[in-house]
């Protein structure tokens, strides 16, 4: 039986499998926590799935997402995983030229129901953000897909993902501990690429945004991290991250990265 976090992830993976049919998998670009989970080995499950969409494919993307609620093949895929289906609610929560947002519920066994959200942005994206079409490691998706099946989807690479997380840390109305944790995940597999990452970030983020991100990284307290990050981690690593000391290390690591980017900007100005 799937846990609540696994049930949401199953739906995210099956949705990506469906979206890969739109414009030969080139209609959307995966970003955020699901990108980190599938392609960077993040131990943090994501409640929601976020994508950038190609404006010319907006109608096809909308139709594909709306279509999963009445699709028998999608329902059979859910049933194979022990899920009763999806509750679409009252329909999309936002449907404009720039944003398509749909909140719904995944129906588990008995009366269990797990909220999730898919959001597609059609706003102009940063042209400097590198992305690629890729297949996630099989151990990340195998349990959710029919045997021998796979997904191929466009997704942002590490430099773009770090930039997006720093800007989210600075720009959100409410500071989110997951942004700091996700920066940690992205930095742990850098494989000697720190100088090029810092150069990329220095060229793509303005100093005021960096300074605000550093300030916010250091002001978020442990209880919020524990309730909004630790409880969404895989069981076998949860204890490793459940301490004030570990949280302080994550915050300082994010602030240190930002400091290095600011120093780079000062050096070339």
> Quick one: tokens of 129?
């953000």
Are 15 and 89 found together in one domain? yes
pLDDT of residue 193: 80
pLDDT of residue 89: 94
The average pLDDT across 128-132 equals 92
pTM for this structure?
0.95
Are 19 and 97 found together in one domain? yes
> To which residue do tokens 């042209």 refer?
127
66, 133 contact by CB (below 8 A): no
Give the domain extent around 214: 158-268
Residues composing the chain:
269
What is the distance between the alpha carbons of residues 104 and 39, in angstroms, rounded to a whole number? 25
What is the average pLDDT value for the chain, to the nearest integer? Answer: 95
pLDDT band at residue 127, thresholds of 50, 70 and 90? Answer: confident
Are 260 and 236 found together in one domain? yes
Strand partners, 158: none
Are 66 and 96 found together in one domain? yes
> To which residue do tokens 């997380």 refer?
165
Domain count along the chain: 2
pLDDT in tens, 176-202: 999 999 999 999 876 668 999 999 999
At a CB cut-off of 8 Å and minimum separation 6, what does 164 contact? 31, 32, 129, 156
Are 114 and 136 found together in one domain? yes
- Name the DSSP letter for residue 150: -
Angle at 211 between CA 247 and CA 206, to 5 degrees: 125
pLDDT band at residue 1, thresholds of 50, 70 and 90? Answer: confident
pLDDT of residue 269: 80
97 vs 128 pLDDT, higher one: 97
What is the distance between the alpha carbons of residues 160 and 165, in angstroms, rounded to a whole number? 9
**Residue 167 above 90 pLDDT?**
yes
141, 150 contact by CB (below 8 A): yes
Are 12 and 142 found together in one domain? yes
CATH of the domain at 63: 3.10.450.620
Percent of the chain whose pLDDT exceeds 90: 92
pLDDT of residue 128: 87
What is the distance between the alpha carbons of residues 140 and 268, in angstroms, rounded to a whole number? 41
What is the distance between the alpha carbons of residues 214 and 212, in angstroms, rounded to a whole number? 5
């Amino acid at each position: 039986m799937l846990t609540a976090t696994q049930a949401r992830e199953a739906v995210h993976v099956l949705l990506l499998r469906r979206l890969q049919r739109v414009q030969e998998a080139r209609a959307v670009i995966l970003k955020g926590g699901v990108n980190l989970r599938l392609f960077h080995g993040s131990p943090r499950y994501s409640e929601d799935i976020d994508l950038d969409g190609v404006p010319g494919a907006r109608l096809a993307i909308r139709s594909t997402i709306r279509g999963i609620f009445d699709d028998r093949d999608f329902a059979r895929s859910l049933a194979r995983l022990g899920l009763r289906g999806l509750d679409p609610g009252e329909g999309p929560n936002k449907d404009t030229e720039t944003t398509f947002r749909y909140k719904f519920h995944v129906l588990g066994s008995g009366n269990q129901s797990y909220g999730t959200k898919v959001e597609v942005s059609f706003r102009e994206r940063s042209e400097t953000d590198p992305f690629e079409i890729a297949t996630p490691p099989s151990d990340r998706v195998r349990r959710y897909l029919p045997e021998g099946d796979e997904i191929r989807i466009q997704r942002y690479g590490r430099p773009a993902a770090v930039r997006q997380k720093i800007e989210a840390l600075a720009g959100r109305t409410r500071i989110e501990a997951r942004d700091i944790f996700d920066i940690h995940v992205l930095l742990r597999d850098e494989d000697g690429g720190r100088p090029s990452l810092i150069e990329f970030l220095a060229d793509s983020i303005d100093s005021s945004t960096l300074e605000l991100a550093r300030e916010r990284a250091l002001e978020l307290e442990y209880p919020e991290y524990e309730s909004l990050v630790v409880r969404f981690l895989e069981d076998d690593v949860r204890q490793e991250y459940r301490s004030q000391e570990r949280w302080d290390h994550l915050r300082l690591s994010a602030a240190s990265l930002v400091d290095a980017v600011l120093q780079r900007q000062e050096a070339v100005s």
